[in-house]
């Protein structure tokens, strides 16, 4: 173990087996190693943004077992917002200070390509300066299959219509055997990575998530991180890595052992160490709870996402995030935990030190 620790302290890259072994280290030592990396890069700054999540439809042709949001699972309220409603929501969010609109939908076979792309065009027309972060690789794969377009064609249409960056969703867990159980039929791991690679080739940025704390093993998590690290070596296009803690209510995934806070913090810390080429690590308070996200600041995380205003995907599965977080509360919580709240834009340019 001492050799691995020395490697980390010397900023040498660790391999798969070494990364896996880090789970055997005590949390305090692991946390210190990750925190040193975080402090080296950002000191006590914690980044957040003022954003608005919009989830414009919950009608989905896919059947991911972990999902409680999709209308064909346990949630009985199918909906599809019309474009005027979506634009109106974005305008109201902008009036309240939002600088980013984060749009993630289900895979609705009846909505039409025009609907998927038209919403971006109309938001861009109404709000020329807002940052639109939209369409996960899973949605791009769905549009490509449904409308017989190449990934390149879908991506070029996104850009033409005003999308600025891609969210990190749809990655789940890359291991094919686990993926087959939890989200069979959705974008493959290989294609998830290919889509991000094409996006990065357009000189655009994206994020990467990992859904953990369900039926995957520690090995699967390290494998997931390694596949991201390999792509990032090639493209440099990922801004941030976001470990998403699995939410367990109202879905069909049978899980026997949920991760403890200790295991979640270890996973953040290991991610900070392994992903030496992805600058930011986001503790997405929606899935970790705000309490654990604040602690995660001492285990490698430098970003807490944003105020969100409304959240439907994880709140459907039990997260306490339906109404986002008030700005002043967010800032006070970060300050009270000993960190410096720094409002950022979607590409991590600093806007204001609060």
Least distance (Å) between residue 211 CB and ligand V47: 4
Residue from 161, 169, 171 nearest 132 by CA = 161
Q: Kindly tell me which residue out of 104, 127, 178, 281 binds ligand V47, with binding defined by CB under 6 A.
A: 104
193 binding ligand V47? (CB under 6 A): no
Nearest approach, Cβ of residue 165 and ligand V47 (Å): 8
Which single residue is written with the structure tokens 């990190």? Answer: 168
Question: What are the residues whose beta carbons fall under 8 Å from the beta carbon of 96, sequence distance 6 or more?
Answer: 309
> How many whole angstroms separate alpha carbon 287 and alpha carbon 246?
7
| Residue nearest ligand V47 by beta-carbon distance | 169
Provide long-range contacts, Cβ within 8 A and 24+ apart, for 70-75.
70/106, 71/106, 73/250, 73/251, 73/252, 74/250, 74/251, 74/252, 75/250, 75/316
* Residue 306 near ligand V47 by CB under 6 A: no
Task: Work out whether 287 is an interface residue with ligand V47 (CB under 6 A).
Answer: yes
With contact defined as beta carbons under 8 Å apart, do 243 and 268 qualify? yes
Site pattern 12..41 for ligand V47 (x: CB under 6 A) = ------------------------------
Tell me how crowded residue 198 is: count the other CB atoms within 10 A of its CB. 20
Q: How many residues in the shown chain lie near ligand V47 by CB under 6 A?
A: 24
Interaction pattern, residues 163-182, with ligand V47; x per rule: CB under 6 A: ----xxxx-x----------
The nearer residue to ligand V47, 144 or 240, going by C-beta atoms, is 240
Q: How far apart are CA 282 and CA 137, in angstroms?
A: 19
| Minimal distance, residue 68 CB to ligand V47, in Å | 6
Q: Which is nearer to ligand V47, 169 or 324 (CB)?
A: 169
Residue choice 47, 66, 115, 268 for contact with ligand V47 (CB under 6 A): 66
d(CA 313, CA 316): 6
Closer to ligand V47 by Cβ: residue 38 or 179: 179
CB 342 within 8 A of CB 48: yes
Q: Provide, rounded to whole angstroms, the least separation between the CB of residue 81 and ligand V47.
A: 17
Could you write out the DSSP letters of every residue in 175-206?
-HHHHHHHHTTS--HHHHHHHHHHHHHTT--E
- Nearest distance in Å: CB 288, ligand V47: 10
Q: Which stretch binds ligand V47 (CB under 6 A): 8-16, 74-82, 190-198, 313-321?
A: 313-321
Collapse the DSSP code of 48 into the 3-class scheme (helix H, G, I; strand E, B; otherwise coil) and give the result: strand
Contact status: 105 vs ligand V47 (CB under 6 A)? no
Name residues whose C-beta falls within 8 Å of residue 186's C-beta, 6 or more positions apart in sequence.
62, 64, 138, 141, 170, 172, 179
* Binding residues vs ligand V47 (CB under 6 A): 66-68, 104, 136, 167-170, 172, 207, 209, 211, 242, 244, 246-247, 251, 284, 287, 305, 313-314, 317
């Amino acid at each position: 173990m001492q050799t691995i620790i020395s490697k980390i302290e010397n900023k040498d890259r660790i391999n798969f087996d070494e990364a896996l072994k880090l789970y055997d280290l005590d949390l305090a030592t692991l946390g210190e190693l990750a925190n040193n990396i975080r402090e080296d890069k950002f000191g006590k700054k914690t980044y957040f943004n003022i954003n608005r999540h919009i989830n414009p439809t919950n009608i989905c042709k896919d059947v991911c077992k972990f999902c409680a949001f999709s209308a064909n699972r346990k949630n009985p309220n199918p909906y599809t917002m019309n474009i005027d409603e979506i634009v109106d929501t974005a305008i109201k969010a902008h009036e309240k200070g939002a600088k980013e609109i984060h749009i993630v939908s289900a895979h609705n076979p009846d909505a039409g390509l025009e609907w998927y792309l038209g919403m971006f065009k109309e938001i861009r027309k109404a709000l020329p300066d807002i940052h639109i972060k939209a369409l996960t690789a899973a949605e791009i794969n769905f549009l490509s299959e449904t409308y017989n377009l190449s990934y390149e064609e879908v991506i070029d249409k996104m850009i033409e219509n005003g999308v600025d960056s891609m969210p990190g969703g749809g990655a789940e867990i890359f291991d094919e055997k686990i993926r087959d159980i939890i989200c069979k039929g959705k974008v493959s791991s290989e294609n998830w990575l290919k889509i991000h690679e094409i996006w990065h080739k357009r000189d655009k940025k994206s994020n990467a998530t990992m859904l953990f704390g369900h039926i995957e093993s520690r090995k699967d998590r390290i494998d997931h991180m390694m596949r991201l690290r390999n792509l990032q070596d090639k493209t440099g296009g990922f801004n941030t890595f976001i470990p998403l803690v699995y939410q367990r209510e109202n879905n069909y995934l049978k899980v026997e052992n949920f991760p403890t806070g200790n295991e979640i913090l270890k996973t953040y810390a290991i991610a900070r160490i392994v992903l030496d080429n992805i600058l930011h690590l986001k503790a997405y308070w929606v899935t970790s709870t705000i309490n654990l996200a604040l602690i995660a600041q001492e285990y490698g995380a430098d970003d807490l996402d944003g105020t969100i205003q409304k959240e439907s995907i994880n709140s459907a599965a039990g997260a306490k995030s339906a109404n986002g977080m008030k700005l002043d509360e967010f800032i006070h919580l970060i300050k009270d935990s000993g960190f410096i709240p720094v409002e950022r834009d979607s590409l991590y340019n600093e806007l204001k030190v609060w």
